[in-house]
């Protein structure tokens, strides 16, 4: 299933890049990089190397901290505090899509460095983000269907429909007066299995969106030689990666993967931004962040990532949580979670001032 999701999303991104018109990659005179007192490649390089390790450590702390909450009773996934923390992290992911990724894409795809036709005559950012959200819905739905069919094929002898009759009759014969309890347990177990499948799909799709976004912001950081902005940007990205990692880590925890699978997903999240930064450093001599090719490619990737993150935050994280039995059964807990969402979204919106 992981390979299926990767293939679908990769094909979507490749199609976007293939149809990016390379003929528009003529750099206008006014878009050529200007040098000032802040542009210093020699001084910027140590800062970017520090950034690689700082962001890596922050990412590891963020994504791994939820994975060890089972050993802390207060942060167990069944407790209310875990739900509140997850809502806080979901608010951060939502704000990342709306306040960081989407505005960056608008700025890139409406830049004066791109030709008037077609980039200034059609809202490509909104269009691509919309397509990305629809594709995410399709992947989400198809993946859930595939998982469900596999699960049903495996548990048909064990979990029968109440209307089926055969399992019900066997329960009456075999367990006698325990039939009522036994009969109610099976559908409940089926519901748990179904929720587990949804959690696994959510974790996979969410990681895809975050990885795409992380590579793009890492590439931009690595290619920049502006020492005046790098310092603030590194600090902002460390906080950004830490809290975004908390949201992803919570989803990985609820997916109940085996240890190796958890490690693999945490590893890929942790290394993508440092990898993008290292790639940006390697390409800093030839990569120009204000060239039409770079603006178009990064703008389309950001728009795709924004649509995915916004869909996941609203539909698979927040809506699923607030419409679930736990929050629907407690208005007090709902209010706390609303406050957590607003706090997370507000905090990450404030970070948009620096990153």
Q: What is the pLDDT along the chain (355 residues), one digit of tens a residue?
A: 545 545 555 554 455 455 444 434 445 555 655 555 677 778 888 889 999 999 999 999 989 988 877 667 767 777 888 889 889 989 988 998 999 889 989 998 998 888 888 888 999 999 999 999 999 899 888 888 887 777 666 544 444 444 444 444 434 334 444 444 444 444 455 555 777 888 888 888 888 888 888 888 888 888 888 787 787 788 888 888 888 888 888 888 888 888 898 999 999 899 999 998 998 888 777 777 778 888 888 889 889 889 999 999 999 889 988 988 889 989 999 999 999 999 999 988 888 877 6
CB under 8 Å to 57, separation ≥6 — which residues?
none
User: Domain containing 208: what range?
Assistant: 54-151+190-353
Domain contains 325: yes
Angstrom distance (rounded) from CA 27 to CA 30: 8
Nearest in space to 90 (alpha carbons), one of 294, 286, 323, 309 = 309
End-to-end CA distance of the chain: 34
Domain contains 32: no
Phi-psi region of 123 (alpha: psi -120 to 50; beta: other; left: phi over 0): beta
Q: Is 39 in a helix, a strand, or coil?
A: strand
- What was the pLDDT predicted at 86? 86
- What was the pLDDT predicted at 28? 57
Domain contains 331: yes
Angstrom distance (rounded) from CA 7 to CA 233: 32
Domain contains 316: yes
- Please give the model's pTM, rounded to 2 decimal places: 0.74
Q: Is 101 in a helix, a strand, or coil?
A: helix
Structure tokens at 174: 């075999």
Give the largest CA-CA distance in the chain.
86
- What was the pLDDT predicted at 152? 67
What's the total number of domains in the chain? 1
Structure tokens at 25: 């990659």
Domain contains 47: no
- Using an 8 Å Cβ cutoff, are 7 and 204 in contact? no
Angstrom distance (rounded) from CA 127 to CA 134: 11
Domain contains 1: no
Domain contains 297: yes
204-227 as b/e: b if 16+ CB within 10 A:
bbbbbbbbbbbbbbbbbbbbbbeb
Domain contains 88: yes
- What was the pLDDT predicted at 34? 52
- Using an 8 Å Cβ cutoff, are 227 and 38 in contact? yes
- What was the pLDDT predicted at 355? 65
Helices (H), the chain: 2-18, 41-64, 80-95, 102-109, 116-119, 124-155, 166-175, 179-223, 227-255, 259-282, 292-311, 320-322, 325-328, 331-351
């Amino acid at each position: 299933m992981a390979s299926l999701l990767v293939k679908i999303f990769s094909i979507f991104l490749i199609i976007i890049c293939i149809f990016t018109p390379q003929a528009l990659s003529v750099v206008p005179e006014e878009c050529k990089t200007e040098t000032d007192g802040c542009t210093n490649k020699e001084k910027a390089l140590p800062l970017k190397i520090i950034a690689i390790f700082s962001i890596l450590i922050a990412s590891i702390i963020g994504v791994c901290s939820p994975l060890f909450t089972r050993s802390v009773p207060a942060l167990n996934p069944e407790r209310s505090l875990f739900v509140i923390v997850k809502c806080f992290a979901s608010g951060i992911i939502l704000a990342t899509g709306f306040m960081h990724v989407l505005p960056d894409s608008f700025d890139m795809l409406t830049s004066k460095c791109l030709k008037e036709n077609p980039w200034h005559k059609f809202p490509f950012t909104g269009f691509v983000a919309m397509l990305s959200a629809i594709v995410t819905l399709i992947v989400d739905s198809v993946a859930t269907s595939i998982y469900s069919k596999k699960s049903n094929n495996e548990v048909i002898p064990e979990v029968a429909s109440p209307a089926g009759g055969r399992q019900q009759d066997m329960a009456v014969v075999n367990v006698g007066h325990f039939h009522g309890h036994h009969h109610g347990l099976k559908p409940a177990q089926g519901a748990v299995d179904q929720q587990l499948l949804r959690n696994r799909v959510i974790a996979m799709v969410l990681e895809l969106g975050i990885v795409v976004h992380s590579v793009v912001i890492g590439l931009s950081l690595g290619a920049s030689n502006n020492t005046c902005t790098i310092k603030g940007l590194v600090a902002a990205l460390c906080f950004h990666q830490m809290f975004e990692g908390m949201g992803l880590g919570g989803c990985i925890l609820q997916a109940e993967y085996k240890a190796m699978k958890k490690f693999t997903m945490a590893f890929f999240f942790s290394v993508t931004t440092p990898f993008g930064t290292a790639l940006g450093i390697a390409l800093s001599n030839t990569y120009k962040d204000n060239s039409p090719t770079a603006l178009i490619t990064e703008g389309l990737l950001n728009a795709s990532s924004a649509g995915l993150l916004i869909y996941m935050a609203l539909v698979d994280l927040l809506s699923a949580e607030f419409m679930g039995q736990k929050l629907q059964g407690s208005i007090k807990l709902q209010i706390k979670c609303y406050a957590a969402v607003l706090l997370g979204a507000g905090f990450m919106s404030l970070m948009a001032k620096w990153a």
